[in-house]
Amino acid sequence: MTDTPVYQTEALIAEDIDAYLDKHQHKTMLRFITCGSVDDGKSTLIGRLLYDSKMIFEDQLAALENDSKKQGTQGQEIDFALLVDGLAAEREQGITIDVAYRFFGTEKRKFIVADCPGHEQYTRNMVTGASTADLAVILIDARKGVLTQTRRHSFLCHLIGIRHIVLAVNKMDLVDYSQSRFDEIVADYRAFAESIGITAFTALPISGFKGDNITALSANTPWFTGPTLVEHLETVELDNTADQARPLRMPVQWVNRPNLDFRGFSGLIASGSVRPGDAVRVLPSGKTSTVTRIVTLDGDLDQAAAGQSVTLCFADEIDCSRGDVIAAADAPPEVADQFESTLVWLDDDALLVGRSYWLKLGTQTVSVTVQAPKYTINVNTLDKLAAKTLELNAIGVAEITTDRPLVFEPYTDSRTLGGFILIDKLSNRTVGAGMLHFSLRRAQNVHWQALDITRAAHAALKHQKPAVLWFTGLSGSGKSTIANMVEKRLHALGHHTFLLDGDNVRHGLNKDLGFTEADRIENIRRVGEVAKLMTDAGLIVLTAFISPFAAEREMVRAMLPAGEFIEIFVDTPLEVAEARDVKGLYKKARSGQLKNFTGIDSPYEAPRNPEIRVDTTRETPEEAATRIVDMITGNRDDSWMPTI
């Protein structure tokens, strides 16, 4: 058994803290994760690395020894896992739940390690930890061999683009340091790894608890000649080293304009290098210029490369803002708005096909809709399975469409410009992570056709301002009745209008849609697109739809110029609407004959801040229609209301 080293922190810390910090400041940094199945020893391994690298202070060590006696799982010996498992629930259950980040250093390199949870239900946390890692240490319990989570985490690491894989066969002390057992596990893992595209990995026999082959070769494994885990971590090539050889890519994070005499563009260089005098191109606009200065807090630089945060100044006053990408002029990335992507779904609520989410890629944020998945991937069998949506922890391939062009590169070429997250617009939860494969050919072949007659010209001919009057409310609230009265009054006043009614649209344009959440979302998306085209023609469009989801109403609002979407909430309590039940729909829904009926077994998300609210328990349809027309035509003192 490897002797446990006598614990002693580096003497330089006490002798000269400034010298110690300066020494460590100039070391390279490796980010890596530990992952694998439950109880494979991930937290123990990290605790051992922290201990052996002398990154624990005396008071922490004393607390660890005390906690090990109370809560540890190693008898009277130090339980290194307690250094990482900081949550009370983690210590009680002896498992990792959240991603724990720890820093440590050796004489040659600095490290940030993420201890990722092994339970399947916390896969989303594992993806978070892996997203910035250069290397993955995949642990396997020597007694159990390759398990389901081993495969899942290996697949995710490969999917996320981690190029360096270490297969750490842990707890070798519990199998008597058997070489045959080690070779058997490595052979099993290699067969799986090759099937998913992992062509190379480094296999190590270790014991995180005993310290075998962690910092020094162990006498217990004379058949293993190295390298040790720490030696491998110290010498593996960093990702940003390879990135420096690629063309320049710098997403703009901030326009630095402290005074009238200075204008620079700040960001982290994702790949390549740049010097004053280099020609650059700003995307998506395509404008070109020349770099005049590379500014940092410590002064101007003659050159900057991937991994450095800098401010670039240009020779020309070109438009460049947050979200744009500064690239080498002769080797720019692509720009598109339709892509094939791989998605890892991270939310308890399933993907809603057609719903508009925020997509964040680098410093770019755009609105995106996801199509029904082409297939999902069973990580155990690697089978491609048909699916209509993505559930928690599912991995699938789907096409996505953004509302404006996105500067990107395939994820295999660039994590920064190929990896993205999806954010729910209402809750701001991160619901998915994804990797762009390529832009769709139809996106490359379809271009906007310039038209001479503009929407402003159409509106001027009709002597009105285009608008969408979006009536929303429960079935039976009176939306269609009030909308019809409003259109009649506007028509009498000489306005050019068109009314899109929910029932009428389902007889033609949307006759192929049902009433599931996904179909309701697609129903409103199509209506929104039609309404937008009608406003481009200069019309005032009235729509009467339940439109139960706030996200889709906001999606339509975002399609239109500011002030042209007027949300009118026909606010009728459920009991009142159900009492009216003109079409007998509530009765059918209550008896189970009508599924997914809003207000009964499907939710209605009431508007929080509608432009107009109609309380049908206090106001007749005629009174409501008159008030709405007066407000939108400017006949009432409501200066905040856009007039038509």
DSSP assignment of 41-100 equals: SHHHHHHHHHHHTT---HHHHHHHHHHHHHH-SSTTS--GGGGT--SHHHHHHTS--S-E
Distance CA 534, CA 467 (A): 9
All residues at 6 or more sequence positions from 541 whose CB lies less than 8 Å from its CB, including other chains:
466, 467, 468, 469, 497, 498, 499, 500, 531, 534, 535
Given the DSSP bridges, would you call strands 254-259 and 262-268 parallel, antiparallel or unpaired?
antiparallel
- Cα of first residue to Cα of last residue in the chain, in angstroms, is 84
Q: Is 404 helix (H, G, I), strand (E, B) or coil?
A: strand
| 131 in catalytic set | no
Number of H helices, E strands in the chain: 20, 28
Nearest Cα to Cα of residue 485 among 622, 607, 364: 622
Distance CA 34, CA 140 (A): 11
Residues counted in the chain: 644
Given the DSSP bridges, would you call strands 467-472 and 565-571 parallel, antiparallel or unpaired?
parallel
| Token pair 């395509």: residue | 286
Distances (CA, A) of 170 to 140, 150, 157, 160, 293: 6, 13, 19, 24, 51
What backbone torsions phi and psi does residue 494 show, to the nearest 5 degrees? 95, 10
The active-site residue out of 178, 266, 547, 602 is 547
Cβ atoms within 10 Å of 319's Cβ, excluding its own: 8
Q: Where are the beta strands (DSSP E) in 216-320?
A: 249-251, 254-259, 262-268, 273-274, 279-283, 287-295, 304-305, 309-314
Q: Facing residues of 436 across strands?
A: 341
Q: Is 38 helix (H, G, I), strand (E, B) or coil?
A: coil
Contact 281, 328 (CB under 8 A): yes
Distance CA 338, CA 369 (A): 10
Distance CA 402, CA 338 (A): 6
Catalytic residue positions? 547
